[in-house]
Chains A and B, each alone.
Chain A
């Protein structure tokens, strides 16, 4: 299923698109992005429960829907299209981390709340250095006591549950990494909402001073689960990104077809048409890479580190380039606050950087292909 979606998947996508179009018009996006929380808890819980979204890739044994990354990718792509303001990506990342790191008992205890949407959650791994590697993790775990800081944490200021990665003092790289869960209101945890360029994507800075964490999986053995979670995270992000890119492309196309200058539609100028054709190429190629990587995750492909980085590098370039073209095609109006283009432009920019930019992932891909 790397090259096509089943009839059921297409139907699921169509249902979801209709629901999100109704629930998340840009007027609503603008309202929610201006709030501190960045989402509306009641509205989100209702939508999530109707459609079973946060449990999509969680096995049925843990209260989820039992689908895979292919289906999670569809949900993310549609969320990227609609810019739905909700802690969906953050919660599914936390669920992914728990699935990779947790024991059977821990999964049974933690996942049902995430899957049914009663608990919002996030995965806190990056620190102030912004590193995407295990080497960048400096937060220490002394026994279960956590000290240090996490930054760029998706929805970190509102999450009920935080999955944290920390290391035993004196260890390096992937060695000595452990996963913990921490309640959002744990004593010793200070949370600060960061002011973000992309207001639809809320980030937080978390300071831990002797915070008591609950261990997730075996102490000091979190390296492989961490690597796996990151690969899955960037594939998920790539799928979210192609949804946004396609929406921007469609909106810009619709606009140039309406806009008249010099007595004719500006869509009849070849310079506009050539740009539109190149945008389609960029977005379709990025979709192919994102879909392929999601299917490869479900099939347990050995080439996963390279395929994940390939999809993210491709999506980073394609989404930003599409956004640049989209502003240009709108002309002056595209640079105004009232026009919606900037909402996706900023999402393109934030996604380009989040979890590693194109240069970093190109390098990771080549490393993966030359190390064996």
Chain B
């Protein structure tokens, strides 16, 4: 063992290479192989040694991934909400939570969902009104969650619920790990304006949670949720890389492909949501609209915005790599992306003309253009609305004061809130 010496890129590379040489076997089952990864720590090398990791600095993950890729070895399950569950449990969970959940997250046996947003609390997520009441030795949950990706498949849910109505908004929340496969939990798909149903509504009618499945204490729920959300924002860029599975032949690859296909299914329209700027020049030439001076101006506006957005993101990344403090350019991406998406939808409409009236196989590119037009409105809402992004920029970057808040200091039971019909 080399416990006493600092790991280096070379030492990590040599170790993982040797281990893979001795252990990698594409004929194993997916779970069987991943159990080996858990036992060795090579599936999540930056995790603690006692919890399936190797205590390696996170910078070595790329080295480990490279060596895995060289031999075509499959990694642990990474896609979906399960990574947020793992990060939250590692940060705030008890040993019981870690024992019960972490390994099955890595092997991919369990899938997870995030039960935060409610019909009555979107941007104001801490205004959740789903109730958690202690009855006997159990917590009993009643209420409704929404925008829950993959809830219909999930074994476990990360639940934010109100356990104390006499405290102020942020202080009355508790965070639970909820068993989704119980009679008190009902999941209904939520059909979106683009026809897809990537999200669900989740209804709780006396759903039960064992007391040991609360993470931290009543009142700490919001702090725990902040950890989950932080990892959600950080991981948002990773989705695309997770979405690609190996094309290799063999049982383990087939199992992994099936897993990725299931997990990524809800995200298949996401490229259209971003506006598909990549299609614009090709479409403009095909349709001949490239010769229309008015349309050329709109295309140019789009390309200028999209190029400048890309370069702004690269500036932020360059600053980060050089260890400079984050400049304003790092906080603008989400808002800029929705500006780009809206302009892209406008341009696709101009390029498509009357055919933009059509949908599905009757519309250009077998429905892709139609899907862009009806998916773009999500980009300025999902993951923090444009309005919330502007507040974040103005408060955190520009140091402008918060708007006077009318719920500050009041017990939550006295705060005016939405009436949500439960039908």
A-side interface residues toward B, CB under 8 Å? 2-4, 253, 256-257, 264-265, 267-270, 272-274, 276-278, 280-281, 284-289, 291-292, 310, 313-314, 359, 362-363, 365-366, 369-370
Contacts and interface: CB of A to CB of B under 8 A. Distances in A.
B296 A363 contact: yes
A281 B300 contact: no
B402 A286 contact: no
A285 B312 contact: yes
Given A264-B404, A285-B305, A280 B312 contact: no
Given A281-B336, A365-B304, 6 more contacts: A3-B314, A4-B319, A257-B399, A281-B393, A363-B300, A370-B285
A265 B399 CA distance: 13
A366 B335 contact: no
B401 A366 contact: no
A282 B94 CA distance: 47
Given A4-B315, A284-B328, A268 B296 contact: no
Given A277-B389, A285-B308, A369-B281, A268 B300 contact: no
Interface of B: 281, 285, 290, 293, 296-297, 299-301, 303-305, 307-309, 311-312, 314-315, 317-319, 322, 324, 328-329, 332, 335-336, 339, 387, 389-391, 393-395, 397-404
Contacts of B390: 270, 273-274, 277-278
A314 B304 contact: yes
B402 A366 contact: no
Nearest to B322: A4
A278 to B, nearest CB: 7
16 contacts: A253-B398, A257-B400, A267-B400, A270-B390, A273-B403, A274-B394, A277-B394, A281-B335, A281-B339, A285-B312, A310-B308, A313-B304, A363-B300, A365-B300, A365-B303, A370-B290
Contact of A292 (B311, B397, B398): B311
Contacts of A274: 387, 390-391, 394
Contacts of A265: 401
B336 A362 contact: no
A113 to B, nearest CB: 37
Contacts of B309: 285
A270 B123 CA distance: 15
Contacts of B402: 268
A284 B303 contact: no
A284 B312 contact: yes
A302 to B, nearest CB: 16
Q: Which of B300, B311, B332, B393 has the most CB of A within 10 A?
A: B300
